[in-house]
Amino acid sequence: MSAQLRLPIPFSPVPITGQVFIVLLLGFIFGKEIGLGSQLFYVGLGGAGVPWFTGLSGGFTSLTGPTGGYILGFLPAIYLVGWLSESFELKGISRQFLAGLAGLGVIYLFGSLQLSLFLNSGFSRTVSLGVLPFAWLDIGKVLLVSLVVKEFNPANP
């Protein structure tokens, strides 16, 4: 569902979606193993053709296109956030925020690498098309996830 919450950007092949929010939230809620399992299910079935990626797309070409790296980045990102959450008992919004930023960084890394290959472009162009237009909004999503986790987990002051 969060992939369908999208806003295309005219100058970038990457749209704004709700996926980053959900991936990070699930990492905190479910932890590394169940979180990773949820994303393996999502990416695996989407890659097999279930049309639940952005724009109701699915299939292997969705994973090899310009946004496929971001989708593949969900796997290590959710694992990292879940691992950080479980391993360090992340209490307090600042630690959750930093763990969320780490997960976001992983998503950007995977997404940028594939986008640069797809566009056959260098670092500067790739970052200007695949990271910078989204950075502030995604940092806001990380903050929102941190607030939600804090609010709904009373054991996490």
Structure tokens at 39: 């994303």
> Would you state the pLDDT for residue 53?
85
The 10s digit of each residue's pLDDT in 49-93 is 998 888 778 899 999 999 999 999 999 999 999 999 888 765 678
Confidence band for 98, pLDDT divided at 50, 70 and 90 = very high
Q: Which amino acid is at 26?
A: L
Query: In sequence order, what are the residues at sequence separation of 6 or more whose Cβ sits closer than 8 angstroms to the Cβ of residue 112?
Result: 69, 126, 127, 130, 131
pTM of the model: 0.90
- The predicted model gives 35-50 an average pLDDT of 95
Rounded distance, CA 69 to CA 119, Å?
13
Residue 115 and residue 130 in contact, taking contact as beta carbons nearer than 8 Å: yes
The 10s digit of each residue's pLDDT in 115-131 is 999 999 999 999 999 99
CA atoms within 13 A on the CB side of 9: 14
Domains assigned to the chain: 17-151 (1.10.1760.20)
How big is the chain by its Cα radius of gyration, in Å? 15
